[in-house]
Amino acid sequence: MAPAGSQGSKNRPPAAAGRFYDADPQRLRATVSALLAEVRVTENTTPKALIAPHAGYVYSGRVAAAAFATLQSSARTITRVVLIGPAHFVPVRGIAVSAAEAFATPLGPVPVDRNALSLVADLPFVVASDAAHAPEHALEVELPFLQSLLGSFSVAPFLTGDATPQQTAEVLRRLWGGPETLVVASSDLSHYHDYDSARRLDAATADAIERGQWASFVSQNACGFLAVAGLLLEAARRGLAARRLSLCNSGDTAGSPERVVGYGAWTFGRGMAEQL
């Protein structure tokens, strides 16, 4: 693992609490519970991987809940979450991990799976960068949903920077595991188009995700395009495909229709092909 300005700390404190979601633990738990309760899960699925958005809960919380609600039947089997999303604030050469022992939210700390990170430490494009993780919301906002649904679990957090879909897929391949491991790709969709333009763009992106067309992804499609493309690559290798759960934009939730951000949720089910 190549060094990149790593400065270890025991816990990585929350950076998005009070902005993207409520900083008060009781109100946060109530908000997440209410969002999950609104979701009608029609199938008794066992997700292996999810794509979920990472905006403020008032904008994308309902879409994120649509993804995480599918975990209810398998929550007690999941003990490790591989969480991967984009680095919005600090440039990263490759894919960044953290030296922290835990990622904290108002609901408490989630331990970092150091054993999992050791399995990718030899990859030259995996770097240690607490500076990239410190201000980042893309992974953090997914944790309260996971904390509300899962039992005891650890997280393997990754931020993509100047990497390739193949490199992202290699990280996921090494950490794919079995029923104990869930993969979550954190990504919003198109940014700052008008409502109708965003709907057209996001519909095309959704179609590409469901067809497994990872090579069509660029940053204009989704801010977490590398996380999504890498997941599509590895899922296809294992015979899994994405199933759409929700698709909308901030104009449908809490924003102006003149300048919106798109959100989508998908699940990848477990199957026999996963043993490949």
The 3-class SS string of 193-258 reads: ECHHHHHHHHHHHHHHHHHCCHHHCCCCCCCCHHHHHHHHHHHHHCCCCEEEEEEEEHHHHCCCCC
What is the residue extent of each domain of the chain? Answer: 2-275
Task: Return d(Cα 102, Cα 73) in angstroms, integer.
Answer: 26
* Residue 156 reports pLDDT greater than 50: yes
Q: How confident is the model at residue 117 (pLDDT cuts 50, 70, 90)?
A: very high
In the DSSP assignment, the letter for residue 17 is B
The pLDDT mean for the chain works out to: 93
- 2-275, CATH topology level: Protocatechuate 4,5-dioxygenase; Chain B (3.40.830)
Q: Structure pTM?
A: 0.94
Q: Which of 198, 14, 1, 226 is nearest to 104 (CA)?
A: 14
Query: What is the three-class DSSP state of 167?
Result: helix
Task: Return d(Cα 202, Cα 93) in angstroms, integer.
Answer: 28
Task: Return d(Cα 124, Cα 143) in angstroms, integer.
Answer: 28
- For 182, phi then psi, to 5°, come to -115, 140
SS3 per residue for 177-195: CCCCEEEEEECCCCEEECH
**Count of residues in the chain:** 276
Higher pLDDT pick, 260 / 272: 260
pLDDT at position 42, please? Answer: 77
* Residue 272 reports pLDDT greater than 60: no
When pLDDT is averaged across residues 40-53 and rounded to a whole number, the result is 88
Q: Considering only 169-173, 203-207, 219-223, 242-246, which range has the smallest mean pLDDT? A: 219-223
Q: How confident is the model at residue 159 (pLDDT cuts 50, 70, 90)?
A: very high
pLDDT at position 273, please? Answer: 37
pLDDT at position 8, please? Answer: 42
